[in-house]
Structure 1
Amino acid sequence: MSLWTAAEAARATGGEARGDWTALGVSIDTRTLRAGDLFVALSAARDGHEFVAQALEKGAAAALVSRVPENVPADAPLLVVPDVLRGLEALGRAARARIGGQIVAVTGSVGKTSTKEMLRTVIGGQRRVHAAEASYNNHWGVPLTLARMPRDTEVGIIEIGMNHPGEIAPLARLARPHVAMITTVGTAHLEAFDNIDGIAREKASIFNGLMPGGWAVINGDLDTTPILRAAAEATGAHILTFGEAPANHHRLTKVDIIDTATVAEARIWRAPALFKVAAAGRHFALNALGVLAVVRALGLDRALACSDLSQWTPPAGRGMRERLLLDPVDEKMAFELIDDAFNANPVSMAAALEVIAAARPKDNVGRHARGRRIAILGEMLELGPDELALHAGLADLPATAELDVVHCVGKRMRALYEALPPGNRGRHTEKASDLAAKAARLVDAGDVVLVKGSKGSKVSEVVDALRKLGHPAPDG
């Protein structure tokens, strides 16, 4: 099915279509471009116009440009607009307008991408779903996700993020969701705001884009919940709350973390429910409950949704777990890796530490008689003037006391390293690459290893080094 014809794209953007072309997809990167894509020449680290010729050589249907590059043939298929980003936004707006389905938007300080993927899994069992394949939640990611939305989409799932005040509302107005969900409000990006109330108000601005009669799904357990609720009420939205407090519409009543899975009991709009997710963590159970609240708002089958939740697994870098063999002959000689190296703030760090605290290492299989719980923690960025105290405060978490070794990466993580009991201190390095070089000395068979940090801490380099130590192991 075609996504954009030249005439449709020209009408949507007010641009000039050169040639009669049909696009099957939309791409902003020649490395992942597929034949038939419309290449969008965005300017970021480099000017996308430099890659138009390459995109066309790879089979792009056309290119969205603000000028004709010198190395492009005169008869090249193009869509010429005054501003490429504005043109992409116009395509996203037109794609949103032409579908007859519903839109769900998700934001929050923690759990946006994981929740988006839960929604894809659960709603995808009942409707034709469209969602971004990655964490495309910023000023170009949201319009790109919309511009790629197929004509027959029944539910579109849009992730919306922010780094600074004023970013969420314009993206929410572009998406015009029928349901908007806020996973939680935490101290992520605190350096750009005066306090956490400011973060809550920014998150709550997602409700400014709600369709008339839309639904606001909010975490009801937060100190900032009144701010979220007031913002939703101001738009006339129907409100659904989720959490553990008795007053919530959707309430967790019991959570059992069983090594690699979480089983939860809940009351969903006064009805009992039982569901399981194939990942350990109370935060996953809470986000899953929010997903079930979205399911109710969309009028979908909740029993089927509860069943489908068990099919979801965390994406890479966001809590994905895997067993890695250190000895290809002996399947017992393996360690477990929890890859959560994409994002970190005090809320998500505490949740991840709770996960590894519940993990079960295997004894008597490696050099150490007892399997260990090992955390490799990269620094948390954008926390503002209290950043060192927030890092050091991780040492006081009950989950931290359950760990055998904590390795720390980054200058800010020095504060945690010094706050840890001497017996739990592993290594401290300022660069992730220095710790990655010592990967073979960090782990042993039977260990469970968590790698967690902000993307900028580059602890993903440690994940890569740990993976290279062995081979994926069969479950068991």
Structure 2
Amino acid sequence: MIKRTLNDIAEMIQIENDLSPYGKKEIQGVSINSREITPGQLFIPFKGERTDGHQYVSDAIEKGAAAAFWQEDVPNPPTHLPIIIVKDTLTALQELARAYRNQLSIKVVGITGSNGKTTTKDMMANLLALKYKVQKTEGNYNNHIGLPLTILALEERTEVAVLEMGMSGKGEIDFLTKLARPDATIITNIGESHLQDLGSREGIAEAKLEIINGLKSDGLMVYMGDEPLLRNYFDSYEGQATVKTFGRTEQNDLYPVNIQQLDNGSKFQVNASEVEFTLPILGMHNVLNALSAMIVAQHFNVSFAEMEAGLVKVRLTNMRMEILQGQNGEKIINDAYNASPTSTQASIELLANLPGYKKKILVLGDMLELGADEERFHEEIGLSICAENIDAVFTYGRLGHLIAKGAKEVLSEDRVFAFDEKAPLIEELKKHVNDETIVLVKASRGMKLEEVVEGLQ
């Protein structure tokens, strides 16, 4: 984490007051939450519409904070405390992170995409940790606040940082990538998330492609080569970065061969190696995520033979293809962290092809932020369900009813159940499961379908 004196900070960012009385005082790390302050941290308050973090500055310092930012337009800064006055506390946080990153001798991998960012980040960190000291984005700290906090949490002896970059609109990835200055970047895919804000898949692609704006000129750009929107862009790319692709098809630099779906993951090989890889994560889409990480790992001189040991140990963040057991012996795949048509379709395909279960049940909820075509997307998901491989479909939410409507076109009505409340859904679902059943649960984060998972356990 950042360890600097207040005099150092005064040289890293623009400040508006005299720090000489406290200039030799050192901060160790930063926090934006006064309730979680640890001794020595720099507390950064934000002035919000409902609450103003400045009212907690004195409390934070009392709890051990070494110093605190104070926004210039907030009246009555305490004169008896180590306060750093800045024009805007959010901007100061970002500029401090930028200055700190520029002082670090570190390699950075930046990852974006509509789906699979966090999974790819976890895989990437595992592979690079075979040779380097690695830190990665924790949780969902991937936006204009989270990424600066992640950078300021980097140890000076860290060799590689794996940074996830999220967005909801244009210009956001551009800001993040120029702050992080990555040596390698990955675009996992282009889906439908944020259609509400960006209007089209073309708009989403343009926003994701901003990641290349901060890539070092001699860096590596890795993207999903099966996506025409990305391939069309890079077919006319004139930059100096090395560009490589991954995907299902042979037109890519790296693609999978000899894939074997297991009940707890996958075994596969790639076109560029004879090594057989074991990935303890379900789904073909996660094999593809692994390929993108493998290209970057190879760029950092990790061999395919070494990667086998790294992939087999990958563990994902909770609620991403998390395998659990229910009260009646059923297996549950908790993939309730987020959902889009692309990722939901991948999850349905996974469940349909999973061996070893006599009964397969889908529990699907609303997919949010899809814009004007949200109803069509939901009905199409229902229509895409294979009646031969899926035994029952349970839906939750207003838009979930449209998934059920589509599903009833391909499954008999007695195999499709639509609910507006979770309690009756859980009660009915329990009647359909036993120790030969597997249940896959997926929806957007706002639907909180992990509560259904908890109801089965």
Given that 1:24 and 1:36 are in contact with CA atoms closer than 8 Å, whether structure 2 keeps it comes out as yes
1:426 CA drift (Å): 4.5
Structure 1 residue 409 corresponds to structure 2 residue 396? yes
- Matched AA of 1:357: A
- Matches of 2:216 and 2:388, distance apart in 1: 47
Relative to the length of structure 2, the TM-score reads 0.90
Write the distance in 2 (CA, Å) between the matches of 1:360 and 1:259. Answer: 6
Please give the secondary structure, in 1, of the residue aligned with 2:261.
Answer: strand
User: Within 2, Cα distance between the matches of 1:131 and 1:373?
Assistant: 35
Aligned to 1:89: 94
The structure 1 residue matched to 2:109, chosen from 101, 104, 111, is 104
| Partner SS, residue 150 of structure 1 | coil
CA distance in 2 between counterparts of 1:23 and 1:436 reads: 50
Among 186, 189, 192, the alignment partner of 1:187 is 192
Which runs of 5 or more residues in structure 1 are unaligned?
A: 327-332, 363-370, 470-476
What is the rounded CA distance, in whole Å, between the counterparts of 2:429 and 2:37 in structure 1?
A: 35
Could you say if the C-alpha distance between residues 57 and 460 of structure 1 is closer, same or farther in structure 2, counting changes exceeding 3 Å? Answer: farther
Shift in alpha-carbon separation, 1:336–1:35, aligned structure 2, 3 A: farther
CA distance in 2, matches of 1:111, 1:193: 19
Conserved 8 A contact 1:374-1:405: yes
- Is the contact between residue 52 and residue 72 of structure 1 (CA under 8 Å) also seen in structure 2? no
Residues 298-318 of structure 1 show CA distances to partners (whole Å, capped at 9, x for unaligned) of: 233332123211100221022
- My pick for the range that moved more, 144-153 or 257-266, is 144-153
**Residues 58, 301 of structure 1: CA spacing in aligned structure 2 closer, same or farther, 3 A cutoff?**
farther
Partner of 1:307: 309
Q: Distance in 2 between matches of 1:275 and 1:7?
A: 51
What is the number of equivalent residue pairs in this alignment?
449
TM-score (structure 1 length as normaliser): 0.87
CA contact (8 A) 1:432 1:458 kept: no
Q: Which runs of 4+ in 1 moved over 6 A?
A: 68-72
Q: Deviations over 1:149-197 (max 9, x none)?
A: 2212211111111111222111111111110110011111112223212
**For structure 1, which segment, 398-407 or 129-138, has the greater mean C-alpha deviation from structure 2 after superposition?**
398-407
Q: Paired residue for 1:286, among 285, 288, 296?
A: 288
Kindly report the root-mean-square deviation, in angstroms, between the aligned alpha carbons of the 2 structures: 2.6
Q: What is the distance in 2 between the residues matched to 1:380 and 1:43?
A: 32
1:208 maps to amino acid: N
| Alpha-carbon spacing, 1:336–1:47, altered in 2? closer, same or farther (3 Å) | farther
Contact residue 52 and residue 69 of structure 1 kept, 8 A:
no
Mapped pair 1:25 → 2:67: no
Q: Does 1:253 align with 2:257?
A: yes
2:216 — aligned with what? Answer: 211
Give the aligned residue type for 1:119: M
Q: What are the within-5 Å matches in structure 2 for residues 48-447 of structure 1?
A: 48-66=53-71, 74-230=79-235, 233-268=237-272, 271-324=273-326, 326=327, 333-359=328-354, 372-397=359-384, 401-420=388-407, 421-423=411-413, 425-432=415-422, 435=425, 443-447=433-437
Aligned equivalent of 1:460: 450
Distance 1:95 1:223 in 2: 38
Separation of aligned partners in 2, 1:136 and 1:437:
36
* Distance change in 2, residues 1:355/1:67 (3 Å): same
1:366 corresponding residue in structure 2: none
The offset of 1:228, in angstroms, is 4.1
Whichever residue aligns with residue 347 of structure 2, its letter is A
Return the alpha-carbon distance in structure 1 between the equivalents of residues 184 and 131 of structure 2: 17
The change in CA–CA distance for 1:43 and 1:465 in structure 2 (over 3 A counts) is farther
Shift of 1:119: 1.0
Quote the offset at 1:33 in angstroms: 3.6
**How big is each residue's C-alpha offset from its partner over 1:11-53, in whole Å with a ceiling of 9 and x where there is no partner?**
2222254734323322222444433332221345633223333
Residues in 2 aligned to 1:68 and 1:52: alpha-carbon distance in whole angstroms: 15
Shift in alpha-carbon separation, 1:434–1:169, aligned structure 2, 3 A: farther
- Deviation of the 1:378 alpha carbon: 1.3
In 1, Cα distance between equivalents of 2:283 and 2:414: 23
Q: 2: distance between equivalents of 1:120 and 1:287?
A: 13
Find the residue that maps to 1:172 and give its secondary structure: helix
